[in-house]
Amino acid sequence: MANIYLPVGSVTGTAIAVANALTEALIVAGHEVLLDINASVATLNSQPWDAVLVVTSTTGQGDIPANLLPFYAQLEEQFPLQNGRPFGVVSLGDSSYERTFCNAGALLEERLFELQGKAPIPRVTIDAIETSNPDDDALCWLKEWMEVALA
Ligand SMILES: Cc1cc2nc3c(=O)[nH]c(=O)nc-3n(C[C@H](O)[C@H](O)[C@H](O)COP(=O)(O)O)c2cc1C
């Protein structure tokens, strides 16, 4: 059993729906999850989480959604070293944005690497114009992530 911190960044709710589906699957697999739409470093530091799973869409021109931006900024300001803690990133976007496709997830992944987190598998990108059911792609990725990150 693992205890997972799951920060979510979302503007119109798609990433929240995906995060809910992932939470359900993690709980079914016997894990505990805190899904947090107001993520903070204080909460990240509040428990010895076994893993961190970020689910975020991208907004603006490659920007992090407003509800996840404070967490991203706090990670830079407070620099909470992750000491090899496993993390994963599920990144939602739209490839018609081309250069900024899924950029928010890339930014989070980069920051967690800087903090010496360990990504057992690379982040997954979910393209709104390619898939009508983002949950399926995310759940497929989760299966692999669970096997390696929570083993
Ligand atoms: C105003 C706006 C700006 C967006 N900018 C980007 C972008 O720069 N890159 C990207 O990959 N997707 C972009 N998207 C697409 C969203 O990330 C995608 O539709 C996502 O599934 C929305 O998830 P959410 O409802 O959780 O916010 C944008 C969408 C909107 C409405």
Q: Is 37 in the pocket of ligand 1 (CB under 6 A)?
A: no
Residues 6+ apart with CB under 8 A from 77: none
Q: How many CB atoms lie within 10 A of CB 37?
A: 15
How large is the angle between the packed helices 69-78 and 103-114, nearest 10 degrees?
20
Q: Which of 59, 63, 92 to mutate to test the pocket of ligand 1 (most atoms within 8 A of CB)?
A: 59
Ligand 1 contacts CB of residue 93 (under 6 A): yes
Q: pLDDT digit string (tens) for 30-73?
A: 999 999 999 999 999 999 999 999 999 999 999 999 999 999 99
Whether the pLDDT of residue 10 is over 90: the answer is yes
Q: Which of 90, 87, 105 is nearest to 148 (CA)?
A: 87
Does the Cβ of 94 fall within 6 Å of ligand 1? yes
Query: Is residue 151 scored above 90 in pLDDT?
Result: no
Q: Which two tokens stand for residue 147?
A: 């096997």
Above pLDDT 90, what percent of the chain? Answer: 99
Average pLDDT score, the chain: 97
User: Which pTM was predicted?
Assistant: 0.98
Determine the topology of domain 7-149 in CATH: Rossmann fold (3.40.50)
Contact 65, 94 (CB under 8 A): no
- Sequence-distant (6+) residues with CB within 8 A of 9 are 15, 39, 54, 55, 56, 57, 64, 65, 67, 68, 69, 104
pLDDT at 44: 98
60 Cβ below 6 A of ligand 1: yes
For 49-150, where are the alpha helices, taking DSSP H only? Answer: 69-78, 103-114, 134-149
Mean pLDDT, range 4-9, rounded to an integer? 98
- The model's confidence at residue 114, banded by pLDDT at 50, 70 and 90, is very high
- Band of pLDDT at residue 78, cut at 50, 70 and 90: very high
Q: What is the mean pLDDT of residues 85-95?
A: 98
Q: Is 62 in the pocket of ligand 1 (CB under 6 A)?
A: yes
Question: How far away, in angstroms, is 1 Cα from ligand 1 center?
Answer: 33
* Pick from 62, 79, 69: nearest CA to 37: 69
For residue 77, name the pLDDT band (cuts at 50, 70, 90): very high
CB atoms within 10 A of CB 27: 12
Q: Atom 1 of ligand 1 has which residue's CA nearest to it?
A: 60
CB 113 within 8 Å of CB 99 = no
pLDDT value of position 101 = 98
The protein residue with its alpha carbon nearest to ligand 1, atom 28, reads: 59
